[in-house]
Structure 1
Amino acid sequence: VVVQSCKNELKQSKLWQSAAFFISTEHQTELEKEICSCVGDHALNHVSAQDLARAYINESAKKSLIQQAVLSSVKGCAERAL
């Protein structure tokens, strides 16, 4: 879920759109995998156990938590990769 959310956020990112203009489609795919893998590894690092528990029992809280975690990680991972 985090990786898919990452891909969606990445495609909307101005940084990604600017970089994608100058690189091949094949390289874009490689970078997307690298960035979203990084996001998957780091997205939940700053999430409390209480927030995780709330997300486990509440679908709305889960969606919000995933979006927050992805947004906080995607920029840093994209900057490192690019």
Structure 2
Amino acid sequence: MKKILPLIPLVFALSACAVDGTATPGQTNTTQNTAQQIGMTALKIAINAKCTTELNNTAAWKVASQVMTSQQQQNAQSQVCGCVSDKAMDSVTVVDLATVAFDPAARTSIATKAINNTVHACIAESLKK
């Protein structure tokens, strides 16, 4: 999680190059799409970080990970949290994405909501493989 958090400001810094704040009639949709893409990127980073933390704090994970090598733990964690990041986006609205792009405080609550909607399905899916 600590490795991912420093990337969030970088995403926003790079996005400043894409949007200069001025919108001519043909650019309004482009600006909205850029804000949604920024929001989606920021939310995926937040979801992945939150998922990793939640997974490591889960009793079932603690028990299961004791019989795994560190490589197996990383693979399983990557598989579950990757699934959560992808599927969580289905439960997030366009308004949520725009909010996440510009309101860092909203990231945690929206990420938590999205994780709660998908984590059990992803764990079950990863256990089937």
Shorter-chain TM-score category? Answer: 0.7 to 0.9
Does the 8 Å contact 2:88/2:118 carry over to 1?
yes
Bigger mean CA offset, 2-11 vs 44-53: 44-53
Where do residues 1-82 of structure 1 align in structure 2 (5 Å cutoff)? 1=45, 2-82=47-127
> Bigger radius of gyration, 1 or 2?
2
Instruction: Give aligned-pair identity as a percent.
Output: 26
Runs of 4+ aligned structure 1 residues displaced above 3 Å come to none
Gaps of 5+ in 2: 1-44
Gaps of 5+ in 1: none
Give the C-alpha shift of residue 51 in structure 1.
2.4
Could you tell me how far apart the structure 1 residues matched to 2:75 and 2:62 are? 15
Provide TM-score, normalisation by structure 2: 0.55
Could you tell me how far apart the structure 1 residues matched to 2:68 and 2:124 are? 15
RMSD: 1.7
Could you tell me how far apart the structure 2 residues matched to 1:77 and 1:23 are? 19
